Amino acid sequence: MLLGLTLLGLLFVMWLALSVETRTFWTANNMSNLLRQGSMIAILAIGETFAIITGGIDLSVGAIAGFVSMVVALLLTNDLGFASTIFGAVVISLGVGVFIGLFHAFGVVQMGLPPFIMTLATMYSLRGIGLLITNGATISITNNSFTGFSRASFLGFPWTDGTWFEIPMLFWMVIVVAIPAYVLLNHSRWGRYLFAIGSNKEAARLSGVNVGAITYMAYVVSAFCAAIVGILLAMRIGIGNPTQADGWELQAIASSVIGGTSLFGALGTVHGPLIGSFILTTINNGANLLNLNPFWQRIITGLLIIVVVYFDTLRTRKR
Amino acid sequence: MVLEKLDKRFGATHALKAVDLSFEEGEIHAIVGENGAGKSTLIKLLTAVFRRTSGEVYWRGKSVPLASPHESIGLGINAVHQEVVLCPHLTVAANIFLGDEEMRGGLLNHGRMVRDAQKLLDDLGFVLPAEVLLSSLTIGQQQLIATARAERRGAKFLIFDEPTAYLTRQEAAALFKLIRRLKAEGVTIVYISHRLEEVFELCDRVSVLRDGALVATRKVSETNEAELIALMINRTIDQIYHKDVVKIGETILETDKLSGPGFRDVSIRVREGEIVGLYGLIGAGRSEFVQSVFGRHRATSGRIIWQGKDVSIRSERQAMNLGIALSPESRRDQGLCLQLGVGLNINLPIYKRLSLGPLIHHGREGAAADKQIHDVQIKTSSRAALASSLSGGNQQKVVIGKWLNHGAKLFIFDEPTVGVDVGTKAEIYRLLGSLLAAGAGVIMVSSYLPEVYELADTLHVFRAGRLVATHGHKDASQETILTEAIGV
């Protein structure tokens, strides 16, 4: 909780500084843009956190998002009856995500592979499979009611400068993902088991926890969130391409870690990665507005990870 | 080396009590005692793994602080442990020179190290090649390499901690030869072993530790095995072994000639209200046996009869569903989620009961944890406090206490009181009593004889994977039982 407030404070300080430094930052337009930009990493980071809490990791979330963007585009641009309706395409794409998650858990639980290796392998293969299917081509989505969702918004309020601020649909999607994720993590016994496994798998097993099933849950949640992001990505850019979302897995992991998730497992929240991802987005957004060389964004992100995790290490060392 | 009033406390535990002891140049000095008597604490103080609480250590007449392992190695104090602590993926030569490599022009001089290592091995009379990987050797051979390594370091004081536990006869003979040779070179040897016959074969003097205190030091030629065993056993029976009379009921579990990895032909029976003690030395097969009953390893032959029915227990979940609970030997590795709250740890086995569907009933969750913390008297600031913040004894109470609400019929406690102080021990025994009163049966695996001796209604003695003797409540002397376990 303390870390959450500190991070929220950090986010507001950054916003305040950027509002003072630039005219364009604190505008209804830019802020709703920032929410849009941050939403996808936020959803990835929430899913990723489930895998990390068990003491594992999911390196494939970016690749899943790219792969699913291709799947949904393929379905929508062909005439396959139900599968080519928006509803059908979304359901099947989410199903693809669940399947990939099950495959990860199969590798980790049944084959005993380290999660790092298992998801590294699918990270490579999924992009390859996608390129094989599309032959390297990009699929343009012509369905306007599908792509329109990413530009749409719902509810709004007057901004400080009198203009109207609209909450983008993409951000609502973050809420739609975060609430069930929060309930699952903090108010269900499966959430308790996730932490127990991350802390001491052996103790959890000897206490009657079905470690295998809970591990399956973690990787399915992670891949499912990545599939949601894949669909949102296809909506936002209007194309399906398996090479999209390159490097997003690292942004998701960074957001999660900045948000207080321990890579050793057993420590993590839903709000942490959420705030963490918007901190990263603010760095990117602010750096653009400040006309900073974009390469600096990566450097700042790297430094921030070191600083935040260092302070967290100090905090846990005292225990 | 002379030890004067050497003392070590871990929190409330008094592990070593003002030990006065002297070791002479070129003697082989055995230290014997029951598990938990303070032998390993003593070694760890001498090798500076731990720092002493009080007392003095004199090395060749000078007081030494023994503050770091580096310092003690510098003095020439080395230990060869029961489990070899070398790098299995490096060659024999690399291991012998590890941390003290021979160099030429800033680079490793591989050729010379292999040659020197080979010469050392040949000198010692080991027929072993220096350039093979350590992992290709047997444990016994690795033990010899570890000794050779200490020899090369110019060890003046060498501690062997149960060196023959994993060795074959021939390997042990080779090791003894080496030890005698070191003695002839004036090296002081401290030899720790459960095997009394080795003490008589090899050693000059023997010291007996009991409950952290030095009981006696004798010349080996002036004592015998019976006297040593008598000295090792604590005769003062404390109030801590409180035992209510509970009516023994129906049979819960029976095994019939059960065999599996590490044990053979074990037949036992556990009834309602009964404590069945399994006593033996470490590695005698007790833990392996209970783990098979708990479904961790499949038994290879024999029968398990659960409440009158033949069952085959294939997994731990199946065992738990039948109504068996196991409290593991190592609480840190197997029993506790240290980074998580005390409440979560206590409730882990019973979350199903604290939930409505998948969702947790937070009121019930908190109440269950608080009740258990109160009943078991766990000293913690709150149920949210991390398990890692508790003392060892309180951690153990969490490990045991979490099963009390579970409603299991058979409880297996593997070394339930290792590393806890006497007060906590008494509380843990009281908890066992309340389980019995509720009609459960208990299997208690213990290396601490007084505890199983006082508490067990039926006491089985294990040796080398077999059940060698069975006793009713206190129907044999502790001497007899220890003798059966050691097999002299």
- Per residue of chain B (488 residues), what is the pLDDT tens digit? 888 888 887 766 677 888 888 898 889 999 988 766 788 788 888 888 888 888 888 888 888 888 887 888 888 888 887 666 778 888 888 888 887 787 888 888 888 888 888 888 887 777 788 888 888 887 778 888 888 888 787 788 888 887 776 677 777 888 888 888 888 888 899 998 877 788 888 899 999 988 788 888 989 888 887 788 778 776 544 556 777 777 888 889 999 999 988 888 999 999 999 999 999 877 788 888 998 898 888 888 889 999 988 988 888 888 888 889 888 877 777 888 888 999 999 998 888 888 888 899 999 999 999 988 888 888 888 888 888 887 777 888 888 888 877 778 899 998 887 767 666 778 888 888 888 888 889 999 988 888 888 889 999 999 888 899 899 888 888 888 888 888 76
Where helices occur in B233-337 by DSSP H, the ranges are 286-293, 316-322
Count CB neighbours of B281 within 10 A. Answer: 22
Number of separate domains in chain B: 2
Q: How far apart are CA B179 and CA B204, in angstroms?
A: 12
Set of chain B residues whose Cβ sits within 8 Å of the Cβ of A204: 337, 348
Q: What is A112-171 written as a DSSP string?
A: ---HHHHHHHHHHHHHHHHHHHHTTPPEEP--HHHHHHHH-EEEEEE-TTSSEEEEEHHH
Query: Does residue A135 register a pLDDT over 60?
Result: yes
Mean pLDDT of chain A: 91
Tokens read off for B177: 């030869």
Q: What is chain A written as a DSSP string?
A: -HHHHHHHHHHHHHHHHHHHH-SSTTSHHHHHHHHHHHHHHHHHHHHHHHHHHTT---TTHHHHHHHHHHHHHHHHHS--GGGGSHHHHHHHHHHHHHHHHHHHHIIIIIS---HHHHHHHHHHHHHHHHHHHHTTPPEEP--HHHHHHHH-EEEEEE-TTSSEEEEEHHHHHHHHHHHHHHHHHHHBHHHHHHHHHHH-HHHHHHTT--HHHHHHHHHHHHHHHHHHHHHHHHHHHSEE-TT-STTHHHHHHHHHHHTT--TTSS---SHHHHHHHHHHHHHHHHHHHTT--THHHHHHHHHHHHHHHHHHHHHHHT-
Domain end position, chosen among B180, B203, B232: B232
Nearest to B355 among A189, A196, A207 (CB): A189
Interface test with A, best of B360, B362, B383, B402 (most A CBs within 10 A): B360
Name residue A158's beta-bridge partners.
A164
Q: How far apart are CA B44 and CA B59, in angstroms?
A: 16
B7 in Cβ contact with B41 (< 8 Å): no
Nearest to B333 among A191, A195, A202 (CB): A202
Residue ranges of B 333-372 with Cβ closer than 8 A to chain A: 333-340, 344-345, 347-349, 351-352, 354-355, 358-360, 362
Range of the domain at A219: 44-153+160-268
Q: How far apart are CA A299 and CA B359, in angstroms?
A: 42
Query: Same structural domain for residues B180 and B319?
Result: no
pLDDT on residue A319: 43
Q: Positive or negative, the Cα torsion across B280, B284, B288, B292?
A: negative
User: Which pLDDT band holds residue A316 (cuts at 50, 70, 90)?
Assistant: low
Asked whether residue B72 is domain-assigned, the answer is yes
Q: What's the CATH number where B435 sits?
A: 3.40.50.300
User: Which pLDDT band holds residue A318 (cuts at 50, 70, 90)?
Assistant: very low
Query: Same structural domain for residues B21 and B164?
Result: yes
Asked whether residue B194 is domain-assigned, the answer is yes
Q: Positive or negative, the Cα torsion across B405, B408, B414, B416?
A: positive
Per-residue buried b or exposed e for A237-250, using 16+ beta carbons within 10 Å of the residue's own CB: bbbbbbbbbeebbe
Query: Same structural domain for residues B260 and B353?
Result: yes
Q: Give the CA-trace dihedral at B479, B482, B483, B488, to 10 degrees.
A: -140
Set of chain A residues whose Cβ sits within 8 Å of the Cβ of B337: 195-196, 199-200, 203-204, 266
Report DSSP state, residue B156: S
Query: Same structural domain for residues B435 and B292?
Result: yes
Tell me if A199 and B402 make a contact (CB, 8 A cut-off).
no
Query: Same structural domain for residues B206 and B275?
Result: no
Q: Give the CA-trace dihedral at B410, B434, B452, B388, to 10 degrees.
A: 90
How large is the greatest C-alpha to C-alpha distance in chain A, in angstroms? 61
Query: Does residue A58 register a pLDDT over 90?
Result: yes
Asked whether residue B301 is domain-assigned, the answer is yes
Asked whether residue A171 is domain-assigned, the answer is yes
Report DSSP state, residue B379: -
Asked whether residue A218 is domain-assigned, the answer is yes
* First-to-final CA distance of chain A: 16
Per-residue buried b or exposed e for B175-185, using 16+ beta carbons within 10 Å of the residue's own CB: bbebbeebbee
Minimal CA separation from A140 to chain B, in Å: 42
* First-to-final CA distance of chain B: 32
Query: Same structural domain for residues B213 and B259?
Result: no
Asked whether residue B366 is domain-assigned, the answer is yes
Asked whether residue A297 is domain-assigned, the answer is no
Q: Positive or negative, the Cα torsion across B467, B473, B475, B479?
A: positive
How large is the greatest C-alpha to C-alpha distance in chain B, in angstroms? 79
Query: Same structural domain for residues B166 and B272?
Result: no
Q: How far apart are CA B79 and CA B189, in angstroms?
A: 10
Per-residue buried b or exposed e for A281-308, using 16+ beta carbons within 10 Å of the residue's own CB: bbbbbbbeeeeeeeeebeebbeebbeeb
For residue B336, give the chain A residue with the closest CA: A203
Number of separate domains in chain A: 1
Asked whether residue B110 is domain-assigned, the answer is no
Question: Chain A residues with CB-CB distance to B under 8 A?
Answer: 183, 187-193, 195-196, 199-200, 202-210, 266-267, 319
Q: How far apart are CA B430 and CA A56, in angstroms?
A: 40
pLDDT on residue A191: 93
Query: Same structural domain for residues B193 and B336?
Result: no
Q: Give the CA-trace dihedral at A49, A53, A57, A60, to 10 degrees.
A: -30
Segment among A46-50, A251-255, B475-479 with least mean pLDDT: B475-479
Interface test with B, best of A1, A186, A192 (most B CBs within 10 A): A192
Count CB neighbours of B254 within 10 A. Answer: 18
Q: How far apart are CA A192 and CA B409, in angstroms?
A: 25
Asked whether residue A258 is domain-assigned, the answer is yes
Helices B225-232, B478-486: crossing angle, 10 deg rounding: 120
Tokens read off for A256: 């999660």
Q: How far apart are CA A151 and CA A132, in angstroms?
A: 31
For residue B385, give the chain A residue with the closest CA: A319
Query: Same structural domain for residues B338 and B471?
Result: yes
Per-residue buried b or exposed e for B391-414, using 16+ beta carbons within 10 Å of the residue's own CB: bbbbbbbbbbbbbbbbebbbbbbb
Domain end position, chosen among B232, B259, B291: B232
Set of chain A residues whose Cβ sits within 8 Å of the Cβ of B336: 200, 203
B80 in Cβ contact with B161 (< 8 Å): yes
Q: How far apart are CA B367 and CA B343, in angstroms?
A: 10
Pick the closest to residue B84 from B101, B74, B70, B98 (CA basis). Answer: B98
Asked whether residue A252 is domain-assigned, the answer is yes
Nearest to A209 among B326, B348, B354 (CB): B348
Tell me if A199 and B386 make a contact (CB, 8 A cut-off).
no
B115 in Cβ contact with B133 (< 8 Å): no
Query: What separation in angstroms does the CA of B285 have from each of B198, B333, B422?
Result: 22, 20, 27
Domain end position, chosen among B232, B260, B287: B232
Count CB neighbours of B374 within 10 A. Answer: 9
Q: Positive or negative, the Cα torsion across A188, A263, A271, A173?
A: negative
Minimal CA separation from B321 to chain A, in Å: 9
Where do we find the tokens 């025994």? B429
pLDDT on residue B11: 66
pLDDT on residue A147: 87
Average pLDDT score over residue span A7-27:
91
For residue A211, give the chain B residue with the closest CA: B317
Query: Same structural domain for residues B163 and B278?
Result: no
Asked whether residue A7 is domain-assigned, the answer is no
Q: How far apart are CA A296 and CA A54, in angstroms?
A: 33
Minimal CA separation from B327 to chain A, in Å: 8
Q: Is B286 left (phi over 0), alpha (psi -120 to 50) or beta?
A: alpha
Asked whether residue A234 is domain-assigned, the answer is yes
pLDDT in tens, A256-276: 998 989 888 888 999 999 999
Which residues lie closer than 8 Å to B266 by C-beta, 6 or more apart? B255, B257, B258, B259, B285, B289, B302, B466, B467
Asked whether residue A264 is domain-assigned, the answer is yes
Set of chain B residues whose Cβ sits within 8 Å of the Cβ of A208: 317, 320, 348-349
pLDDT on residue B229: 78
Range of the domain at B174: 2-89+133-232
Which residues lie closer than 8 Å to B245 by C-beta, 6 or more apart? none
Query: Same structural domain for residues B206 and B265?
Result: no
Query: Does residue A185 register a pLDDT over 90?
Result: yes
Query: Same structural domain for residues B148 and B290?
Result: no
Tell me if A203 and B337 make a contact (CB, 8 A cut-off).
yes
